[in-house]
Structure 1
Amino acid sequence: MGEEKSDNEIIELYKNGEKEALKYLIERYASPIFNFVAHLTNRNDAPDIVQDIFIKTWKNIKRYDSKKASFKTWIFTIARNSVTDFWRKKKNILFTEIEESFSENIPDENLLPDEVLQKLEDAELLNKTLEKLRPDYREVLVLYYQEEMTFEEIGGILSKPTNTVKSQHRRAIIELRELLHF
């Protein structure tokens, strides 16, 4: 049922009393939400945060309005807010500058962002490097490359103008190049 129906069709089924319908949305978004959360926190805390996200989704699904945002944007906004709440509870400071300074020049400024990410064969290196980025830059990169969202969708999730998201994406790529010495 879930694969052939759109998110909005499944939500309507749920709102009309078909309680099993929500299961299909959870199955559809469990992996992307988990990966997003794991990149912004860690794999040990991610399952609990993801569970909270789906509980919040279930509790608020009847208030979802497809005219305001796509379901994907809506659930990723819940995920982002849940991650922010997690860090507040952990008393970590979000959105801080990187403590280390890197003074090396970028060898190839014409290298495209896709090429930079494709050159990273070692996923562990990428994850460690992403952890060094400012959280707002990391969010943009994870949503754009891993979740394959548009700048407009990312702007909706982060409550930022599209041009701000594009600018953060560009700055994140430059910083990523510096960290990786490309």
Structure 2
Amino acid sequence: MVGRVGGGRAVTAVEVVAALRARGETVATAESLTAGLVAAELTEVPGASAAVRGGLVVYATELKHTLAGVDAELLAEHGAVHPEVARQLADRARVRCGATWGLGLTGVAGPDPQDGVEPGTVHLALSGPSGSAVRTITVAGGRRDVRRASVDAALDLLLTHLKIPDE
């Protein structure tokens, strides 16, 4: 459950779940390249049911539209790996699952590029009561490295916002 983000301090799912529970808030995910790994990481924590509402695995591009509600024109114009797709995934996860917070992840784990986007490119988004935030990371390494770093970065993004009073 320990992740390293950018070589910094370890962020754990335990910390994220504890912060959500302390605030009486919940999270939902819409995951593409991680295929549910963020939700799985969070739900390994005892007591996670008080903080995790659920998630959508939208690995296939068309599911980003049909299941998660991402704008079809956006997908047609920019492809599935785009910051706005991540933002819409986060927004839709939050709304569709009735959560305080939504996390959206899309990217290319590799080994091949997708829609002209190089492997290791990941867009993460957080949607919350006062708006959304998008972060783009680039990860070196193979599929496992990219997916692991994506989970870690998503947990870090959420925990950073949970630590802001009255977010």
- Tell me, yes or no, whether TM beats 0.5: no
TM-score, normalization by structure 2:
0.27
Larger radius of gyration: 1
Report which of the two has the higher share of helix: 1
Structure ranking higher in strand proportion? 2
